[in-house]
Amino acid sequence: MLASPTAWKHNAKIDLVVNPDYDGGRQPKNGGLTIVFYADQGAAYADLLGGNLDVLDAIAPSALATFESDLGDRAINQPAAVFQSFTIPARLPHFEGEEGELRRQALSMAINREEITGVIFEGTRTPASDFTSPVIDGWSDSLKGAEVLEFNEAEAQKLWAEADAISPWTGTFEVAYNADGGHSAWVDAVANSIKNVLGIDAAGSPYPTFSEMRTLITNRTIQTPFRSGWQADYPSLYNFLGPLYATGAGSNDGDYSNADFEELLTEGSTETDLKKANDSFQEAQEILLQDLPAIPLWYQNVTGGYGTDVQDVKFGWNSVPLYFEITKG
């Protein structure tokens, strides 16, 4: 709980202490912790190396090539239920109806995920083959239609030309992202891949903070595609599908709606047999692979590390440190 009424300093830190009334199963082994907010991931990593930070839950892109050798057995690099994509609202010009479907598929096939995850992320990401995560029960890498997530220059150019026959493309394809989250390198790489394959102008569109970008997305006033993704609340395929793509769902920022998809979601969520439920969810994903309300990019490992003064640092399936187990001294 908060250490005091003034323990939360906006954009700076939160001081927490053990709640004496807590009687759950995760009894803290420490007296509390301070959560520190950084505007720059590189600064956070520098503090970890300098002994000014005990636990870091996201390694700066600039340090991905060296953090495991820097930290040795104090480096964390393990799969987590985190999925990265970008969303293209159907309300944007050129992305409605048949034209929009063709352009989404073309854009997806124009992205060289293997190259980007290898060069930009140093193997800490895995190219996506669905909309969920490999750490979730029922995940599959062989869904019908998943070839739309594979790099295919010729097919991408063909589909884009078919879309141009409906309505010629004009302007720049932009992907909005928050500059305070370490996303610029991969967004630029995705834009360059699209530019090189489709022969169009493509670029990242940075916003200074996550809050500023989210305000425009929530208000439906953003005029470009935008970075999106999901970190699971609980380990289920449904948690990656319902909150993001069900009609009117709280995180359905692209306002996607498909009655057949909804029917399969309902079927899976009311099924008591887990395998049958997952089968329904996978069928629902095959509809998503056709419609592409978001363009899946890759699954994210949790990359982090900890200092020499702390012990028992572990990260859960959802990439969050198990703070209650950490000891220091």
CATH classification of the domain holding 136: 3.10.105.10
Low-confidence ranges of the chain (pLDDT < 70): none
C-alpha distances in Å from residue 195, one per residue of 87, 116, 121, 198, 201: 18, 14, 20, 6, 6
d(CA 325, CA 311): 9
Q: How far apart are CA 13 and CA 33, in angstroms?
A: 10
* 3 in any annotated domain: no
pLDDT of residue 268: 97
Contact 297, 113 (CB under 8 A): yes
Number of domains in the chain: 2
Range of the structural domain that residue 147 is part of: 80-300
Within a domain: residue 294? yes
| CA atoms in the 13 A half-sphere facing the CB of 247 | 9
Looking at the fold, whether 43 and 117 belong to one and the same domain comes out as: no
Helix ranges (DSSP H) in the chain: 41-49, 67-71, 97-109, 113-119, 153-166, 184-198, 210-218, 237-245, 259-269, 274-291
Predicted confidence at residue 123, as pLDDT, reads 83
Predicted pLDDT at 79: 81
Residue 2 lies in a domain: no
Rounded to the nearest 10°, the torsion over CA 126, 160, 203, 145 is -20
The whole-model pTM stands at 0.79
Strand 201-207 to strand 172-178: parallel, antiparallel, or no bridges (unpaired)? Answer: parallel
Question: The CATH number of the domain where 312 resides is what?
Answer: 3.40.190.10
| pLDDT value at residue 175 | 98
pLDDT at 316: 86
93 in the same domain as 40: no
